[in-house]
Amino acid sequence: MRFYTVPSAKEARRSVVWAIWIIGLFYLFSLVLGYGAAALVNGGPERIAAAPGEENSAAPLLAYELGGTLLLGFISAVAFATILAVVAGLTITASASFAHDVYANVIKHGQLDPDGEVRVARITACVIGALAILGGIFALGQNIAFLVALAFAVAASANLPTILYSLFWKRFNTTGVLCSMYGGLSICILLIIFSPAVSGSDDAMFAGFDIAVFPLQNPGIISIPASFLLGYLGTIFSKDPGDEAKYAEMEVRALTGAGSEKAVTH
């Protein structure tokens, strides 16, 4: 279950460059919105902090300040549509990946018909939706930007070292991948659990008790380097020498697109 949206390797690289610029500029604009709201909203940061949603109300209040109810309504509609699109996209991607990559190929060893994959994907979508709702309840009132930063830290801790090592280190092997991904993910989640974001502060998810032994709210500065270190140590101490021929083949395929599938019109 893969979604091919470009006809060639050249167009794929071009789309990646465009995506990087668009996403990078989007997150830079979020800084501009924050400082702009603090400067332009009548009442300043105090009014934003006193509004329902607190920091999360900065953008709607700025829209209301600049364009009145018309711009506020437009921004609200865009935000609602964006939320629906993101939730739908993540649910489809997660359920399809679990059904095809994990359940069909790992658990069932490829012995699963397409109808079975669809059935598993539907069940997975329901489970993911329920877990997301529970997570949203526990995170009610949290700063959205902070939660996004936590998600980035988790994703980077699990994936970034593996991606970079795979691209630039010929000796990187399966043991290094497993140590990096599972180790980095576990460290990041544990540090989040024992951080002030979960307990021990007034704005924590569980303010009623205190198990915060890790002082930082975002663990990325610790978990990401730890993931790099675990990937390196797992590779160095593994008996698997790696496959340099496979690495060279992957490098050629990545740079030239040789052997890639052709675009299909559906």
Instruction: Verify that 126 and 24 share a domain, yes or no.
Output: yes
Whether the predicted pLDDT of 136 surpasses 90: no
pLDDT digits (tens, 9 = 90+) for 60-74: 888 888 888 999 999
Whether the predicted pLDDT of 174 surpasses 50: yes
How much is the mean pLDDT over the chain?
A: 84
Instruction: Verify that 161 and 253 share a domain, yes or no.
Output: yes
Work out the number of other CB atoms within 10 angstroms of the CB of residue 167: 12
Which residues are within 8 A (CB) of 242 and not within 5 positions of it... i.e. 6 or more apart?
Answer: 170, 171, 172, 173, 235
Whether the predicted pLDDT of 199 surpasses 60: yes
How many CA within 13 A on the CB side of residue 28? Answer: 6
How many CA within 13 A on the CB side of residue 63? Answer: 16
Mean pLDDT calculated for residue range 78-94:
90
Instruction: Verify that 81 and 164 share a domain, yes or no.
Output: no
Taking the C-alpha atoms of residue 156 and residue 197, their distance in angstroms, rounded to an integer, is: 18
pLDDT digits (tens, 9 = 90+) for 9-27: 677 778 888 988 998 898 8
Instruction: Verify that 31 and 79 share a domain, yes or no.
Output: yes
Q: What is the pLDDT of residue 242?
A: 66
Instruction: Verify that 5 and 133 share a domain, yes or no.
Output: yes
Instruction: Verify that 131 and 161 share a domain, yes or no.
Output: no
| Domain boundary residue, one of 114, 141, 168 | 141
pTM of the predicted structure, to 2 decimals: 0.74
Whether the predicted pLDDT of 257 surpasses 70: no
pLDDT digits (tens, 9 = 90+) for 220-250: 999 999 999 999 999 999 887 766 677 777 7
| Domain boundary residue, one of 141, 176, 200 | 141
Give just the sign of the alpha carbon dihedral 11, 12, 16, 17. negative
Structural domains counted in the chain: 2
Whether the predicted pLDDT of 263 surpasses 80: no
Q: What is the pLDDT of residue 142?
A: 77
The one-letter code for the residue type at 248 is: A
Instruction: Verify that 103 and 157 share a domain, yes or no.
Output: no
Instruction: Verify that 135 and 173 share a domain, yes or no.
Output: no
Whether the predicted pLDDT of 132 surpasses 60: yes
Task: Give the confidence band of 1 by pLDDT, cuts at 50, 70, 90.
Answer: very low
CB of 224 closer than 8 Å to CB of 156? yes
User: What percentage of the chain has pLDDT greater than the value 90?
Assistant: 29
Which residues are within 8 A (CB) of 85 and not within 5 positions of it... i.e. 6 or more apart?
Answer: none
User: What percentage of the chain has pLDDT greater than the value 70?
Assistant: 90
Q: What is the pLDDT of residue 264?
A: 47
The residues that bridge with 206 in the sheet, in sequence order, are 199
| Domain boundary residue, one of 141, 167, 201 | 141
Instruction: Verify that 157 and 135 share a domain, yes or no.
Output: no
Instruction: Verify that 137 and 224 share a domain, yes or no.
Output: no
Instruction: Verify that 68 and 185 share a domain, yes or no.
Output: no
The 8-class DSSP code of residue 124 comes to H
Q: What is the pLDDT of residue 74?
A: 92
| Domain housing 251 | 145-266
Instruction: Verify that 125 and 160 share a domain, yes or no.
Output: no
